Amino acid sequence: MKSRSFNAQLILVIVAVIALCWTVVLGIVLTQLSLNRTSTWDEKLGAMATQLLVTIPADSDFDGGAGPGLKLGAAAGTKHEPLVFQIWIDRSRMVASTPGAPASPLQPDFSDGAASTEVENQKWRVYSATDSTGRVTVQVGNLQSIVDADMRHEAAHALALATVLLVIAGLVMWFVSQAALKPVRALGAAMRHRRRFDFTALPLDRLPRELHPLVDSFNHVLKQLDEAIEGERRFIGDAAHELRTPLSALQAQAEIALRATDPQDKDAALRKLLVVAKRSTRLSEQLLDLASINAGAKAPKHVPADLSKLVQHVAQEFEVYASLNQRSLFLDVHACKISCDIDEIGILLRNLMHNAMRYTSEGGNVLVRCGYLTPQGSEPTQPMVYLEVADDGPGVPAEQREAIFERFHRVAGTPVRGSGIGLSLVAGIAESHNATIHTGTGLEDRGLMVRVIFPGIVEPRSPG
């Protein structure tokens, strides 16, 4: 889907608003002029008729004199004027009129007031006024075409004024919007010219207040990226440091084996070489698991799974290890379902079991348990599932139990040197599964116990 330009949308909105306002103004102007087109002229015509009527002397003798009646002096021409008047006596004899005025009455029925008439094939707007005696009638008229032309002129003038005002308003809106977006464009230009991996927060000053939530979201993402990259930098540095020691040991034991002339010395060096190689292999596997989980190399695929079956499967892998290293592995598992990434739970189980096996002395015991914290009979809305691995080794002081889940942390004074990665993997996987970790004393009031509590899955009732 193509992205739409904000400027283009803004122009369309401004044009649409102007067009809508112009249409509304046009409708209002035409309506008002249609309603009032005659009233203005009627007032003018009425004023003229009244003035003409009151200027006629009251003692005028319209019966004397020769001819058909009074006539105005001869004009320069008899050109038909649009505005005319007539003075009628007894509604039958016209004694005065504008040159070129119709010979017939402008208002044939001589009723007082304004009216539209048609005289000699021309439409007129007429106002008629009669004196108190009823003898003298003054009629003033104007061609309807002149009235219509005047209406069109007024409408055009009003629309032109409205158009100019709307265009000015549109331009003002455009310039204001462009001025408001100027800081946004400047911010975009500054982002394009930033140095690589510069994740400093974007400034909020000069930006419109409405954009602050959006920029705050960008700053939040930038902070997360900065923390992620910084974490990867620390990971690479720590991993390089951790790998340097076993690689140096591998090289040293290989050189000793090559130089040894006594077969027993050579075998001893090779056995040490094998131990270091196994440790390096384990460290590499943990580093790869840690990098994969931290980087989110794959989308999580949480599916319902029976935790007890996963524990039994992983425990089978440690049976040979426990036998060779003279440890005893016990299981106390009950069917319990969780929604999980099976591969990640496998990594979590292997690290917990391997950690317990390594830190337990010869002849020691490791107990793995799992089940529901709440009895199924109580039918909880969401039961909790626990996984517990306990040993009877030297244990961890209570004040250091939180720290053991940090990357590359090692408990001082322990006889066995670990990588400090296994339990950090456990913490990361537990977090991704919304699980919590609790620690305590292990078997027989010694050793270490690690309990992971998962949200369980409600089992549907069987019918009947």
pLDDT computed for residue 254 by the predictor: 79
Kindly report the CA angle at 263 between 259 and 267, in degrees rounded to 5?
A: 85
Last residue of a domain, one of 245, 274, 294: 294
d(CA 231, CA 227): 6
Q: Which ranges in 406-445 belong to alpha helices (H)?
A: 422-432
The Cα 44–Cα 382 span in angstroms is: 89
Q: Which 3 state secondary structure label does DSSP give 152?
A: helix
Q: Decide which of 242, 277, 294 is a domain's last residue.
A: 294
CB atoms within 10 A of CB 13: 13
Helical axes 144-192 vs 6-55, angle rounded to 10°: 160
Write a three-state SS string for 105-129.
Answer: CCCCCCCCEEEEEEECCEEEEEEEE
Rounded to 5 degrees, what are φ and ψ at 330?
A: -120, 145
Q: Note whether 123 and 167 are same-domain residues.
A: yes
**pLDDT at position 338:** 92
Give the pLDDT score at 68: 47
Looking at the structure, tell me whether residues 81 and 3 fall in a common domain: yes
Q: For residue 219, which amino acid is it? A: N
Q: Are 128 and 88 in contact (CB under 8 A)?
A: no
DSSP 8-state code for residue 304: E
- Give Cβ neighbours of residue 78 (< 8 Å, ≥ 6 apart): 99, 100
Do 100 and 1 fall within a single domain? Answer: yes
Same domain, 360 and 447: yes
Q: Are residues 390 and 247 in the same domain?
A: no
**Residue 204 domain-assigned (yes or no):** no
Same domain flag for 277 and 317: no
Q: Residues 51, 176: one domain?
A: yes
Two tokens, residue 398: 């209570």
Do 142 and 45 touch, CB atoms closer than 8 A? yes
Nearest to 71 by CA among 116, 108, 26, 101: 101
Q: How far is CA 125 from the centre of its chain?
A: 63
152 & 229 share domain:
no
Q: Which of 294, 323, 344 is the last residue of a domain?
A: 294
What per-residue confidence (pLDDT) applies to 75? 43
Strand positions, DSSP E, 307-360: 328-333, 337-340
Residue 369 falls within a domain, yes or no?
yes
Question: What does each of the 464 residues of the chain score in pLDDT, given as a tens digit?
Answer: 455 666 677 777 777 887 888 788 777 777 766 665 556 667 788 888 888 888 887 767 666 543 444 444 444 444 445 788 888 888 888 888 887 788 888 888 888 888 888 888 888 888 888 888 888 888 888 887 777 777 777 777 877 887 888 788 878 877 877 777 777 777 777 778 878 777 787 787 777 777 788 788 878 888 888 877 776 776 666 566 556 656 666 777 777 777 777 888 777 777 777 766 766 676 666 666 666 666 554 556 788 999 999 999 988 888 877 887 888 999 999 999 999 888 888 888 988 988 888 888 888 899 999 999 865 555 556 789 999 999 998 888 888 888 888 766 655 555 545 556 778 888 888 988 899 999 999 998 888 999 999 998 766 554 44
Quick one: pLDDT at residue 420?
61
Q: Report residue 117: phi and psi, to 5°.
A: -135, 170
> What's the CA gap between 321 and 342, in Å, rounded?
22
pLDDT at site 354? 86
CA angle 371, 380, 382 (to 5 degrees): 70
Secondary structure element (H or E) that encloses residue 272, with its range: helix 263-295
Exposure of 29 in the CB half-sphere (CA atoms within 13 A): 19
Nearest to 345 by CA among 303, 317, 376: 303
Torsion of CA 286, 289, 294, 297, to 10 degrees: 160
Same domain (yes/no): 273, 405 = no
H-state helical runs in 56-143:
none
Collect all residues with Cβ–Cβ distance below 8 Å to 443 and sequence separation of at least 6. Answer: 365, 367, 390, 391, 392, 449
Question: 399 and 339 in one domain?
Answer: yes
pLDDT (0 to 100) of residue 464: 43
| Domain contains 462 | no
Tell whether 383 is covered by a domain: yes
- The predicted model scores a pTM of 0.47
Shared-domain flag, residues 41 and 183: yes
Number of domains in the chain: 3
- 65 within a domain of the structure (yes/no): no
Q: Is residue 29 part of a domain?
A: yes
Q: Rounded to 5, what percent of the chain is helix, strand, coil?
A: 50, 15, 30
Helices 263-295 and 212-259 meet at what angle, rounded to 10? 170
Q: Which of 142, 136, 141, 140 is nearest to 54 (CA)?
A: 136
Residue 334 and residue 444 in one domain: yes
Phi and psi at 271, nearest 5°, equal -65, -45
The SS3 assignment for 136 reads strand
Range of the domain at 306: 302-455
In a domain, 185, yes or no: yes
Q: Would you give the DSSP letter of residue 81?
A: P
The CB density around residue 14, as the number of other CB atoms within 10 Å, is 18
In a domain, 68, yes or no: no
